[in-house]
């Protein structure tokens, strides 16, 4: 199967509204307040470029009068909501997508239990979350069942033919899938692998085969959906929520038209930071959906009702997506209103978000990364080891996240690449980090070794990574392995304890030790004869090895001194940098280019309110600065300016023996600004 690059509606369709309400059998007023007279003023107020509206949610009931024989229409449909949304969007010239729940369909499961996914022994699988979370229910469909042919595809065709919809954002998909033990799946698995009884525990050595079979089954199901829709009407777009995103590394072979996922409703900034850096390497149009509202203690808790996010919080979440060239859509569903009604004061807030998004479109679209630091997120590592049972949330990304966060807080430009994306571009990056990716393919490990020999800089972590790279390359003897231990490592003027599920107590042969492990906070007593990290010169390059799960620990604890320890390791690698940024830790750096422009995006992650474990709101964001950006340039630039925000910018060009050095001073960053350097035209 080849790689399908996908489609989109065009560059001007950049900011979207997503509205869904998951119609159910208890609804009483669906469609009552979403006629063109209601919708058009609200859509004009917000100003979206495209719209996704409710059609079928996880309960499996439609909010329109579906005529498909197997359909479950909510008894609360007062007026055909979808017909009204279509009329309003046509008058405004907006594409209309449908929110359609695929794998998760409770009503279909109740009608046809034989379509439902099964646990070992034949029991019904449980719901992913909600009031039935974990309980045996018929809510999740088996990807190999007749559900797709009998209900899903006929309804998608009906939506195309009767309503002229332009696309489908299919929800309840990869994140709702676990291995299915029904007769269909067990038979197909045996035919493929020869294994008659699929494993039931993740600790089973055969589990990776079973998990990969489940993933393959799901991808085949999505492929059938895409091909059927595209064949039914060319130009109708299909997206499967969270497919081909950060927790699904590997070639994006499934022929969806664009990639999307709805970010966490609270504490979502870290998710956006990783998703943007991965999705921008997929070669497809993409967006992340931001929730316009949040709650503090989890979904469905009466003492923590939903409330609207501050506009600045939404702008901050959007900024990192925009900097990487992504689109932005926002999910809005005013609490308590099931009639399709939109609320003016909330639409005003979304209008402010839209202005923030749209002013960045021309400069952010169609950019490419300026390679600085690559974090390896190996699909081979994911697919060849133990995972959780869920296809999305069962994927362990903690070490990769920790590497990204630490590099960003050291002001590096960071991209996340799987093996498929990194290997062809490996030599473009002056620095590569392999964070506890010890099950990477042999081909990837060999490519990294050659990369170092040719002058690359590599940071490897994890006790098990020694077995993948070996004594000769790392310059250390294996030593013993201690389990579930904390050791202190030197960091700045102090030390920091790092917990590791496994610590390898290596001994240097040709590598240079970088500090000693300590059993206490003391820097000169009770030290072990084992290094905290090592540096080895291989060919023209260098490799640093940290013999424990340091990035997993950083992701879990976020201790500032762990970041300092890692910054020291990066400094001894001395990876060449053409762009250096000095700024407060709260600012993330994104390095992009477009034509003859180089852009240094500066994103302020700060908040004006103190850290509070019961409140994830970002509000009253204080401006942060100053920022110093130093760029090596071949010639004096044609111009340097600050984009997106007002503020002082000073720059100075200093000729050198070869080329020159550009020094830029930015006084402050409010939420998202960019230093834009425009090069002289060739021959100018």
DSSP string, 613-648: TT-----SPPPB--EEEEEEESS--SEEEEESS---
List the single range of 16-20, 209-213, 224-228, 575-579 with lowest mean pLDDT: 575-579
Asked whether residue 683 carries a pLDDT value surpassing 60, the answer given is: no
Q: What does the domain layout of the chain look like in residue ranges?
A: 15-368, 370-573, 579-678
Distance from C-alpha of 126 to C-alpha of 176, rounded to nearest angstrom: 10
Element (H, E) at 469: helix 465-474
How many other C-beta atoms lie within 10 A of the C-beta of residue 184?
Answer: 16
pLDDT of residue 594: 96
Tell me the residue length of the chain: 684
pLDDT of residue 682: 65
Asked whether residue 1 carries a pLDDT value surpassing 60, the answer given is: no
pLDDT of residue 132: 73
The fourth-level CATH superfamily of domain 15-368 is: Glycosidases (3.20.20.80)
Q: How far is CA 526 from the centre of its chain?
A: 42
Question: How deeply is 69 buried, as exposed, middle or buried, from its count of CB atoms within 10 A (0-12, 13-18, 19+)?
Answer: exposed
Per residue in 419-436, pLDDT (tens digit) is 999 999 999 999 999 999
pLDDT, mean over the chain? 96
pLDDT of residue 656: 86
Q: Largest Cα–Cα distance in the chain?
A: 78
User: 3-class SS at 100?
Assistant: strand
pLDDT, average across residues 636-662: 94
Question: How deeply is 191 buried, as exposed, middle or buried, from its count of CB atoms within 10 A (0-12, 13-18, 19+)?
Answer: exposed
Per residue in 495-519, pLDDT (tens digit) is 999 999 999 999 999 999 999 999 9
List C-alpha distances in Å: 211 to 143, 185, 240, 386, 456: 14, 12, 19, 9, 35
- 15-368 and 370-573: same fold? no
User: 3-class SS at 592?
Assistant: strand
Asked whether residue 567 carries a pLDDT value surpassing 80, the answer given is: yes
pLDDT, average across residues 176-199: 97
Distance from C-alpha of 495 to C-alpha of 568, rounded to nearest angstrom: 12
pLDDT of residue 115: 97
At the top level of CATH, the class of 370-573 is: alpha beta
Q: What is the rounded radius of gyration, in angstroms, for the C-alpha atoms of the chain?
A: 26
How many other C-beta atoms lie within 10 A of the C-beta of residue 21?
Answer: 19
Q: How far is CA 538 from the centre of its chain?
A: 34
Structure confidence at residue 298 as a pLDDT band (50, 70, 90):
confident
pLDDT of residue 125: 86
pLDDT, average across residues 345-359: 98
At the top level of CATH, the class of 579-678 is: mainly beta
Asked whether residue 658 carries a pLDDT value surpassing 90, the answer given is: no
Q: How far is CA 448 from the centre of its chain?
A: 24
Question: How deeply is 234 buried, as exposed, middle or buried, from its count of CB atoms within 10 A (0-12, 13-18, 19+)?
Answer: exposed
Pairing of strands 237-240, 167-171: parallel
pLDDT, average across residues 622-645: 96
Cβ partners under 8 Å of residue 470, min gap 6: none
pTM check: above 0.85: yes
Question: How deeply is 579 buried, as exposed, middle or buried, from its count of CB atoms within 10 A (0-12, 13-18, 19+)?
Answer: buried
pLDDT, average across residues 16-22: 97
Structure confidence at residue 684 as a pLDDT band (50, 70, 90):
very low
pLDDT of residue 133: 73
């Amino acid at each position: 199967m080849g790689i399908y690059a996908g489609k989109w509606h065009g560059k001007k369709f950049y900011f979207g509204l997503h509205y869904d309400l998951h119609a159910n059998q208890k609804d009483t007023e669906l469609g009552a307040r979403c006629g063109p007279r209601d919708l058009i003023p609200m859509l004009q107020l917000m100003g979206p470029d495209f719209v996704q509206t409710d059609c079928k949610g996880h309960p499996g009931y439609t909010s329109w009068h579906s005529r498909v024989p197997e359909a479950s229409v909510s008894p609360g449909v007062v007026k055909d909501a979808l017909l009204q949304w279509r009329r309003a969007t046509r008058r405004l010239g907006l594409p209309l997508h449908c929110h359609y729940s695929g794998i998760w369909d409770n009503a279909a499961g109740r009608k046809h239990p034989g379509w439902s996914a099964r646990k070992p022994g034949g029991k019904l699988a449980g719901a992913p979350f909600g009031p039935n979370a974990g309980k045996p229910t018929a809510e999740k469909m088996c990807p190999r069942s007749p559900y797709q042919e009998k209900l899903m595809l006929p309804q998608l065709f009906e939506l195309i033919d009767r309503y002229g919809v332009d696309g489908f954002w299919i929800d309840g998909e990869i994140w709702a899938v676990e291995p299915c033990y029904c007769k269909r799946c067990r038979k197909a698995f045996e035919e493929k692998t020869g294994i008659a009884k699929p494993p039931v525990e993740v600790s089973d050595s055969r589990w990776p085969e079973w998990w990969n079979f489940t993933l393959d089954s799901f991808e085949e199901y999505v492929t059938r959906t895409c091909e059927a829709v595209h064949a039914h009407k060319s130009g109708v777009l299909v997206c499967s929520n969270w497919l081909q995103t950060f927790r699904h590394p590997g070639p994006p072979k499934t022929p969806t038209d664009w990639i999307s996922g709805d970010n966490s409703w609270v504490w979502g900034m870290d998710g956006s930071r990783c998703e943007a850096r991965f999705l921008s390497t997929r070669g497809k149009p993409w967006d992340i959906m931001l929730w316009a509202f949040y709650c503090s203690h989890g979904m469905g808790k009466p003492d923590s009702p939903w409330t609207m996010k501050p506009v600045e919080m939404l702008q901050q979440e959007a900024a990192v997506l925009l900097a990487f060239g992504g689109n932005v859509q926002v999910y809005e569903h005013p609490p308590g209103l099931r009639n399709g009604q939109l609320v003016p004061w909330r639409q005003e807030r979304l209008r402010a978000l839209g202005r923030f998004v749209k002013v960045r479109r021309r400069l952010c679209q169609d950019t490419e990364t300026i390679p600085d630091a690559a974090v390896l997120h190996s699909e081979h590592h994911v697919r060849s080891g133990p995972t959780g049972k869920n296809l999305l949330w069962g994927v362990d990304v903690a070490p990769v996240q920790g590497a990204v966060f630490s590099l960003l807080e050291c002001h590096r430009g960071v991209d996340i690449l799987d093996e498929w994306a990194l290997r062809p571009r490996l030599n473009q990056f002056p620095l590569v980090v392999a964070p506890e990716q010890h099950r990477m393919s042999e081909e990837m490990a060999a490519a990294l070794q050659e990369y170092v020999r040719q002058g690359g800089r590599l940071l490897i972590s994890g006790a098990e990574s020694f077995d993948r790279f070996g004594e000769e390359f790392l310059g250390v003897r294996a030593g013993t392995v201690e389990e579930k231990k904390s050791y202190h490592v030197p960091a700045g003027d102090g030390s920091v304890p790092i917990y590791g599920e496994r610590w390898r107590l290596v001994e240097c042969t040709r590598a240079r030790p970088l500090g000693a492990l300590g059993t206490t906070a003391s820097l000169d007593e009770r030290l072990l004869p084992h290094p905290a990290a090592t540096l080895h010169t291989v060919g023209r390059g260098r490799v640093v090895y940290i013999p424990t799960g340091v990035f997993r620990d950083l992701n879990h604890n976020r201790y500032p001194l762990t970041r300092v320890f890692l910054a020291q390791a990066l400094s001894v690698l001395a990876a060449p940098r053409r762009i250096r940024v000095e700024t407060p830790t709260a600012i993330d750096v994104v390095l992009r280019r477009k034509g003859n422009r180089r852009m240094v995006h500066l994103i302020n992650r700060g908040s004006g309110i103190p850290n509070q474990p019961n409140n994830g709101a970002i509000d009253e964001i204080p401006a942060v600065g100053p920022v110093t950006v130093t760029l090596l340039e071949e010639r004096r630039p044609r111009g340097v300016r600050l984009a997106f925000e007002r503020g002082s910018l000073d720059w100075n060009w200093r000729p050198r023996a070869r080329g020159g050095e550009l020094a830029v001073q930015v006084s402050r960053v409010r939420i998202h600004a960019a230093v834009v350097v425009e090069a002289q035209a060739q021959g100018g």
